[in-house]
Copies of this chain bind each other. A is one copy, B any other.
Amino acid sequence: MASLSPYTASSLKAELNSRGWRMTPQREKILHVFQNLPKGDHLSAEELHNLLEKRGEPISLSTIYRSVKLMARMGILRELELAEGHKHYEVNQPYPHHHHHLVCIQCNKTIEFNNDSILKQSLKQSEKEGFQLIDCQLTVMAICPEALRMGWPSGLPSNWSCTRSISESKKADSAAESEQKKETET
């Protein structure tokens, strides 16, 4: 535990102090939570707040938001947009531990995957434009098998996919989708 992560309480303190900032029990506890988070897990500010409260180490929601944002800017945490209306955080692990996310847009199940070539291509693209690469996040939006079994998401065309060529989209669209009707708006 915590052995894979480069940050310890004392290295965090060093990093903070070097910038004129301070180590606090709150920041240490938050770091600890993320370091011991099971691989593949992500936390929102609210979830982190609840988790610490249940653990008997409550931290105010303001401080949670502030800390998590600060640690993201420091490069300790990574801020993720996992399509839900709120941000999620995880320990930031640069290359070669960098990874991306496959997300079910129906139930939000998330699966991580590694792919160095994406990072390589992001770097290439950044350099081509004279940008300095900070991070790159590929979010693959999809429907998981369980959600599929419940039926294709109402409101989505039955053949929706970014791989579908534009011309294809014009045929085979009329049948088999008259029972979907209103459901989306209710």
Using a CB–CB cutoff of 8 Å, the interface residues on chain A facing chain B are 6, 11, 15, 18-20, 70, 73-75, 81, 83, 92-98, 102, 104-105, 111, 113, 115, 117-119, 121-123, 125-126, 129-145, 148, 155-157, 160-167, 169-170, 173-174, 177-178, 180-182, 184
Q: Who on chain B is nearest to A73 by CB?
A: B155
The answer to whether B177 and A156 have CB atoms under 8 Å apart is no
Q: Which residues of B contact A173 (CB under 8 A)?
A: 15, 18
**B138–A132 CB distance below 8 A:** no
A145 interface neighbour in B123, B130, B139, B145, Cβ under 8 Å: B130
A123, B142: Cα distance in complex, Å: 9
A75 to B152, CA, bound (A): 14
Contact of A177 among B19, B95, B96, B144 (CB under 8 A): B19
Measured between C-beta atoms, what is the minimum distance from A104 to chain B in Å? Answer: 7
B residues in contact with A96, CB < 8 Å: 165
